[in-house]
């Protein structure tokens, strides 16, 4: 036991000093940080375009196999039978837009995702290539209320193409300075010297990390809202500071929920040859919804932890990383065996003359 505690603490102190600071300040904390490998890439969006097959833009989806175009607010932990996440009772779905490289000749190629940087001796999350790293943070043990079955939310605005200063701490990019996640230190979105609010303008030697944080306050009543956002809110001090979870919740949204954050590492390194970049010097990386600024980045969440499992995790003291002694795990092979069948059949790896769904996007002006 002591040995494990020592190892965990040593890993915290060495690799990410900010963990240690936070840990000391709060007298303990829980930060679940775990990978989910890909469950499917598909042009579906059960939140924004329920039932629409296809939806206007493509997503990469991870988590439980209960995902479909018209999934309801029924408890997805009961409709799913497997998950791609390290925690085996997490049947939630997590998704973001895909990233594409636009070559000088005008064609697009999908950018693949890497696994996660190695932290906490977690060799599950390093092997999720093609997936998403998910964080759930409780500022102090027992101080957050886990989401309820059927809960879902969206953060970000796919139509935005200019910086929103308020969002700098909740949507940011890290340009990795070298292979093996070079420069992966410090809390995400907290240091404007290394984290940019838009996509990095230059070639990144180790790829591009994208972090997106969700609001941490809930109205305590609604599982969803028409825009999938108004039932949740940022704390009074604005978008959360990852270290403090952003202060008090407003009276309209009094329930403190876990700080959910997604981390996606795009392997842009096959596209670093500047002779392939647009001749006018414009940014060659485009999200699947037609955005090469990165300001329109958005993320979707459908809660699906079984029973009380997430609350148990959030109430635990000092569970860090992809393991927590009170929570059930699975190995990477089991995770990778879980999949959802692609519904909208599109070539995911060809050079394309336009982004998937571009005509539909123009029509709907997204």
Ligand X SMILES: *[C@@H]1O[C@H](CO)[C@@H](O)[C@H](O)[C@H]1NC(C)=O
If one asks whether residue 276 binds ligand X (CB under 6 A), the answer comes out as yes
- Least separation in angstroms between residue 74's CB and ligand X is 5
Closest by CA to 136, choosing from 332, 329, 328, 322, is 322
- As a whole number of angstroms, the distance between CA 334 and CA 292 comes to 36
Q: From the CB of 77, what's the least distance to ligand X, in Å?
A: 11
Among the residue ranges 63-71, 142-150, 285-293, 302-310, the one whose residues contact ligand X (CB under 6 A): 63-71
Minimum distance of ligand X from residue 353's CB (angstroms): 8
Nearest distance in Å: CB 16, ligand X: 19
Q: Judged by CB under 6 A, does residue 244 bind ligand X?
A: no
**Considering the rule CB under 6 A, would residue 79 count as an interface residue with ligand X?**
yes
* Cis preceding linkage at 198, omega within 30: no
223 lines the binding site for ligand X (CB under 6 A):
no
* Residue 54 C-beta: closest distance to ligand X, Å: 14
- The pair of three-digit structure tokens given for residue 194, joined into one six-digit string: 């290394």
Nearest to 80 by CA among 40, 134, 23, 139: 40
Is there a contact between 11 and 119 (Cβ–Cβ < 8 Å)?
yes
The two structure tokens encoding residue 97: 């837009």
Nearer to ligand X, 6 or 351 (CB): 351
> Taken in order 299, 305, 308, 311, is the CA torsion positive or negative?
negative
Here the tokens at position 289 are 């919804």
Window 94 to 123, contacts with ligand X (CB under 6 A): 103, 105, 107, 121, 123
The pair of structure tokens assigned to 41 is 């890439």
> What does each C-alpha distance from 359 to 190, 232, 284, 290, 348 come to in angstroms?
37, 32, 20, 11, 17
Nearer to ligand X, 75 or 195 (CB): 75
Q: Does 6 bind ligand X (CB under 6 A)?
A: no
Site for ligand X in 297-356 (CB under 6 A): 351
Stretch that binds ligand X, among 51-59, 72-80, 165-173, 193-201 (CB under 6 A): 72-80
70 binds ligand X (CB under 6 A): yes
Least distance CB 71 / ligand X (angstroms): 4
């Amino acid at each position: 036991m002591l040995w494990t505690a020592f190892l965990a603490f040593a890993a915290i102190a060495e690799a990410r000093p900010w963990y240690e600071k936070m840990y000391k300040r709060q007298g303990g904390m829980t930060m679940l940080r775990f990978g989910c490998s890909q469950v499917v890439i598909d042009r579906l969006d059960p939140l924004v375009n329920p039932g629409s097959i296809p939806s206007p833009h493509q997503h990469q989806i991870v988590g439980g196999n209960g995902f479909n175009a018209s999934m309801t607010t029924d408890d997805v932990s009961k409709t799913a039978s497997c998950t791609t996440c390290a925690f085996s009772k997490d049947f939630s779905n997590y998704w973001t837009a895909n990233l594409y490289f636009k070559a000088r000749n005008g064609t697009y190629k999908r950018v693949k995702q890497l696994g996660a940087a190695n932290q906490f001796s977690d060799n599950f999350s390093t092997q999720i290539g093609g997936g998403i790293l998910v964080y759930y943070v409780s500022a102090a043990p027992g101080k957050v209320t886990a989401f309820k079955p059927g809960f879902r939310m969206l953060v970000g605005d796919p139509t935005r193409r200019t910086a929103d200063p308020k969002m700098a701490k909740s949507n940011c990019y890290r340009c990795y300075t070298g292979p093996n996640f070079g420069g992966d230190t410090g809390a995400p979105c907290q240091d404007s010297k290394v984290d940019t609010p838009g996509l990095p303008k230059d070639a990144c030697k180790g790829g591009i990390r994208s972090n997106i944080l969700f609001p941490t306050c809930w109205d305590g009543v609604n599982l969803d809202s028409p825009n999938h956002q108004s039932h949740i809110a940022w704390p009074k001090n604005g978008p959360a500071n990852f270290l403090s979870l952003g202060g008090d919740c407003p009276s309209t949204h009094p329930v403190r929920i876990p700080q959910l954050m997604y981390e996606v590492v795009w392997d842009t390194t096959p596209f670093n040859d500047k002779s392939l970049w647009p001749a006018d010097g414009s940014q060659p990386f485009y999200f699947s919804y037609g955005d090469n600024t990165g300001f329109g980045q958005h993320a979707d969440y459908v809660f699906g932890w079984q029973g009380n499992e997430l609350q148990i995790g959030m109430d635990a003291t000092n569970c860090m990383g992809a393991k927590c002694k009170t929570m059930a795990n699975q190995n990477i092979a089991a995770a990778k065996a879980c999949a959802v069948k692609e519904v909208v059949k599109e070539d995911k790896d060809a050079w394309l003359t336009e982004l998937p769904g571009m005509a539909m996007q123009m029509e709907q002006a997204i």
